[in-house]
Amino acid sequence: MFVDNTVIYNTSYNPQKLQDDLNAPQSWETSWKMEFNPLKCEYMNFSRKRTKGAESQYILHNVQITEADGVRYLGVKLESSFRWNDN
């Protein structure tokens, strides 16, 4: 079984804090005999800056998670640049 529609929010500028938050649910997975599928996981940094900062790499179950520029969440399209249109 896999866990669907789970979101981890993190407001820290520290990439290690997000990695720690990704590591934390592993005991929950063991207890409930479920697993997050890292191939279906994405992360997104929200910023209005024109240039991106240093690239971060996040790992879940020894698999690197890909960065997304936009995702749909509860029917709302969220974009890393805070734009509200698809242009």
pLDDT of residue 53: 62
Spatial CA neighbour of 55 closest among 63, 66, 70: 66
Q: With 60 as the cut, is the pLDDT of residue 54 above it?
A: yes
**With left for phi above 0 and alpha for psi between -120 and 50, is residue 23 left, alpha or beta?**
alpha
Which is more confidently placed, 54 or 6?
6
pLDDT single digits (tens) 55-82 = 788 999 999 999 888 888 888 888 887 7
Spatial CA neighbour of 44 closest among 82, 76, 3: 82
pTM as predicted: 0.72
Give the confidence band of 1 by pLDDT, cuts at 50, 70, 90.
very low
Q: With 80 as the cut, is the pLDDT of residue 36 above it?
A: yes
